[in-house]
Amino acid sequence: MRHEIPPRSGTAFTLDRGQRLTVIDPQGEQVADLLAFRRDDIDEVISSGRTLDYASRIFLTTGDKLYSNRSNVLLEIVADTVGRHDFLLTPCSADTFRIIYGDTEPHRGCFGNLAHALAPYGIGPDRIPVAFNVFMNVAVDGASGALEVRPPLSRAGDHVTFEAREDLIVGLTACSALQSNNYAFKPIQYEIA
């Protein structure tokens, strides 16, 4: 069964150990911010710092594992038709839109959408770390360190599949930030198998 996350919104759901989550970009050039918490102890959550350290790489793809703050594997990437995602930046938020875009009445962003979706699971906004930003294309200049948010490389139908290594609570969005999605807000789809 395929679920759809409308533009600029988010959701949360449980994923059992061994289940596979496929995140699909139905129209192309759309980002999905993904978070995963251990279901029986929500203080354990994916950690960009642990994961990038163990991978010795900032760009993750098929075969790479998403480690938690306690150095356990929570998710493994088992399929990826794109190969370029971001694990450096936190979900866009009202503050992002205020500080980067200068919005005076900012959208709550992926951060607000995730906080809303995760609240029923007892997960508060301060517990939201750097997300694994599926399809997000952030270029890094190795000399200057400059970051540049570029349009995703994903085309319509591209997808990434994650296998759960623990029982999880997952948060997932259709990203709300203009730069991330080449200035068009689109839905994200997902399937659980």
Task: Using CB under 8 A, pick the residue from 9, 11, 30, 48 that binds a second copy.
Answer: 48
Task: Using CB under 8 A, pick the residue from 5, 31, 32, 52 that binds a second copy.
Answer: 52
Task: Using CB under 8 A, pick the residue from 4, 19, 59, 167 that binds a second copy.
Answer: 59
Q: Which of residues 1-40 bind a second copy (CB under 8 A)?
A: none
Backbone angles phi, psi at 53, to 5 degrees: -60, -50
Closest CA to 104 of 94, 113, 112: 94
Task: Using CB under 8 A, pick the residue from 13, 54, 121, 185 that binds a second copy.
Answer: 54
Rounded to a whole number of angstroms, the minimum distance from the CB of residue 4 to a second copy is 27
Q: Ramachandran region of residue 18, left (φ > 0), alpha (ψ -120 to 50) or beta?
A: left
Binding segment for a second copy (CB under 8 A), chosen from 21-29, 84-92, 162-170, 183-191, is 84-92
- For 27, half-sphere exposure in the C-beta direction (CA atoms, 13 angstrom radius) is 15
Q: Which of residues 116-145 bind a second copy (CB under 8 A)?
A: 124, 126, 128-131, 139-142, 144-145
Task: Using CB under 8 A, pick the residue from 17, 119, 147, 184 that binds a second copy.
Answer: 147
Between the alpha carbon of residue 166 and those of residues 16, 70, 121, the distances in Å are 7, 13, 16
Task: Using CB under 8 A, pick the residue from 20, 50, 108, 116 that binds a second copy.
Answer: 50
Between CA 168 and CA 54 the distance in angstroms is 21
Contact call for residues 10 and 173 (beta carbons, < 8 A): yes
Nearer to a second copy among residue 56 and residue 104 (C-beta): 56
Rounded to a whole number of angstroms, the minimum distance from the CB of residue 10 to a second copy is 17
Nearer to a second copy among residue 78 and residue 140 (C-beta): 140
Q: Which residues pair with residue 192 across a beta bridge?
A: 21
Between CA 30 and CA 176 the distance in angstroms is 9
Q: Ramachandran region of residue 83, left (φ > 0), alpha (ψ -120 to 50) or beta?
A: left
The residue ranges that bind a second copy (CB under 8 A) are 43-44, 47-50, 52-59, 69-71, 88-90, 93, 95-96, 99-100, 124, 126, 128-131, 139-142, 144-148
